[in-house]
A and B are shown apart, each in its own frame.
Chain A
Amino acid sequence: MRIRIPGHLTEKVAALALKGWVKKKDFPRDVYFRTVDDGLAILSRRDDPDDPPPLEGVVAMLAYMLDREGELNEYVVAEGTHSIGDAKNWEDICSAAGWVIVQAHALAVSKGEWP
């Protein structure tokens, strides 16, 4: 399944090099991937194969998790060229990172690297 990051967030993905951040060795990939699995299972209420997965809800969960974990905040501040900004901007940053994680999860599943 090909995951496309929403257009209004792609600039943040690129500007903050979020794909590279998620790929780092110390990124707790397994914990986040398990959360994607659990989120998909909990948020999908209808057993309809034609129903697309509730990725929007999973990303919201991941965004909250990233906000609470605190590492994304540290990374953005340390990176230096961008600010946390207001609530809308920070929500977009967390959501952008959430989409990157969902994308990485889908790729790993397709390659047999997860679970």
Chain B
Amino acid sequence: MSERSAEQEVVPIEDLVAEVDDLLRLADERAHEARRARYGDPTDQPDISYRAAETTPDITGPLRDRLLASLSAEVIPAMQAEPGGQIAEWELDREVAKKALVGIKISTLRRVAAEMRVDKRGRADQIAERLARAFRYDAEQIARVVLENEEEPTPERGHGERIFPLTEPVDLATCVERLTVLKGRFVRVAVARWFVFGAKPVVAEGTLRFAGTLHTYAAWVTGDPEHPTLGSAPTEQLVEFELTEGSRALRVLRGSAPAVRAAARALAAVGIRLLGRLPTGRGALPGRAATLDPRTALMLDLLYSRLPHAGARKPNLTVARFRLSDEDGADEDERPSLRAVRFEGQHLLDSVTACRLIAREARALVDASLLVSVGEGDGEARFPIRLGFERDHTVVLTGFGRLRSEASAGLHAALVEQVEDAVESGVADPARLETLAERIERRAAEQSDAEQADMFDDEGENDADDLLAPGHEAQSLED
């Protein structure tokens, strides 16, 4: 057997297999020794292992695999690649399972390991290995563990929308008329960039959906120096939009923010004009709330007053991003600068540090990820959500959580409605925002974090519903 070393050694898999054979031989010898210890003279007893082999299933294969996995965790095995240089499928499946688990925050991984009564010590990859083995590398079970323990939703595992404010309310009839003409046509939106309108738009219940593809071409010089020419290569991005009659918001169901901005000229041809900014100007909020950054005021109003109306309770803020500078940093600058800070944890709004950023430094809280509950009793489900304020639009993401996607779809639709109303109408409940602002101010003055999270106590479930209904005349922050 190899000597022990601090670093992981690279060992051909054949050597590890030989070591496993040695271990099994040792275990077999000890089994015989154990029988002698029980019964003394082995000739007095029938060959029990032979009899046992007749009545018990053969588990040598799985045990051999487990020993190989244990040895492989201690070294770096070098294995023969499949034809074409591919990774062996069994190795790939196992590592993909571990990779998915390793993506979970390590504190959460340790908690899951403790719940599964699996050793929670060591590095993330070691814990992931044990968990994956406990689940027998079952892809569905492991996928559910990942979904159940997401603290931040991602577009791949949830519902997501970007919401761009518009200059004017949507006139669906005009949009449909223009889209019918533009169907299948391309519009140049920038140098070597075109937007191709897709198939006929879909209209249902006062809502219009349409899609298109943004084609972007890179260009370069190619060919030999005597006869140079130009080459190009395209990239394509699918973008899908949704509009509601009378709304001042464009919902982007699919597509990146840069793609949407690039397609702005094409959208103008349909009668849709992006505002180009978030309407969060400073307005006449009372007391402490007036000292908050307008984006923070809007975000806190969303978290404290609007979430309950969307059916989301028991908020636990797990990620918070504060914008410290509004410079976009597009050009490299020699000056050191800090543009944003990101906090991760639990119940972050209860932390003294976060409260000081909000209350004393008036920093902009522009991105918040939370875990929220929907439903009650046996029907209660927990979902990760993310609300973000970008320069010219908002982001709403709702994770699938542990249930199927349909269960989180309802929450997502309600959140989008609240966010749209917040951007259009401003703070829904200035009085509640003032209460929260005062709590944050008090927490900012404390020396240490609270033992219990209580910032969101009194989540507004007893408030009059009509204060929070979309379209309610709320105090606008528009200049």
* Nearest B-chain residue to A7, judged by Cβ: B117
From 24 to 42 in chain A, residues with beta carbon under 8 angstroms from any chain B beta carbon are 26, 28, 30-32, 34-35, 38-39, 42
Q: How far is the CB of A47 from chain B (nearest CB, A)?
A: 5
> Does A90 sit within 8 A of B, measured CB to CB?
yes
Q: Once the chains are docked, how many angstroms separate the CA of A70 from the CA of B35?
A: 9
Whether B4 lies near A45 (C-beta < 8 A) is yes
From 11 to 50 in chain B, residues with beta carbon under 8 angstroms from any chain A beta carbon are 19, 23-24, 26-28, 30-35, 37-38, 48-49
**Chain A residue total in the interface (Cβ 8 A):** 51
Q: How many A-B residue contacts, CB cutoff 8 Å?
A: 157
Please name all residues of chain B whose beta carbon is closer than 8 Å to the beta carbon of A70 when the two chains form the complex.
31, 35, 48-49, 51-52
Whether B35 lies near A56 (C-beta < 8 A) is no
Whether A87 lies near B74 (C-beta < 8 A) is no
Whether A67 lies near B5 (C-beta < 8 A) is no
Whether B71 lies near A57 (C-beta < 8 A) is yes
Whether B23 lies near A67 (C-beta < 8 A) is no
Whether A91 lies near B62 (C-beta < 8 A) is yes
Most buried by B among A31, A51, A59: A31
Our pick among B32, B59, B71 for the contact of A91 (Cβ within 8 Å) is: B59
From 61 to 92 in chain A, residues with beta carbon under 8 angstroms from any chain B beta carbon are 61-71, 73-74, 77, 84, 86-87, 90-91
Question: What DSSP secondary structure best describes chain B's contact surface?
Answer: helix
> Does B8 sit within 8 A of A, measured CB to CB?
yes
Q: Which of B118-126, B191-199, B250-258, B439-447 contacts A (4 or more CB under 8 A)?
A: B118-126
> Does B7 sit within 8 A of A, measured CB to CB?
yes
Please name all residues of chain A whose beta carbon is closer than 8 Å to the beta carbon of B78 when the two chains form the complex.
none
Q: Once the chains are docked, how many angstroms separate the CA of A62 from the CA of B66?
A: 12
> Does A111 sit within 8 A of B, measured CB to CB?
no
* Nearest B-chain residue to A8, judged by Cβ: B134
* Closest 10 pairs between A and B when the two form their complex, measured CB to CB: A57-B70, A70-B48, A70-B52, A45-B74, A7-B117, A68-B31, A28-B37, A87-B57, A60-B66, A28-B34
Interface residues of A (CB under 8 A from B): 4-8, 10, 26, 28, 30-32, 34-35, 38-39, 42-48, 50-52, 54-57, 59-71, 73-74, 77, 84, 86-87, 90-91, 94
9 residue pairs of the A-B complex, CB under 8 angstroms, read A5-B117, A44-B4, A45-B2, A50-B122, A57-B70, A61-B67, A65-B31, A70-B31, A71-B48
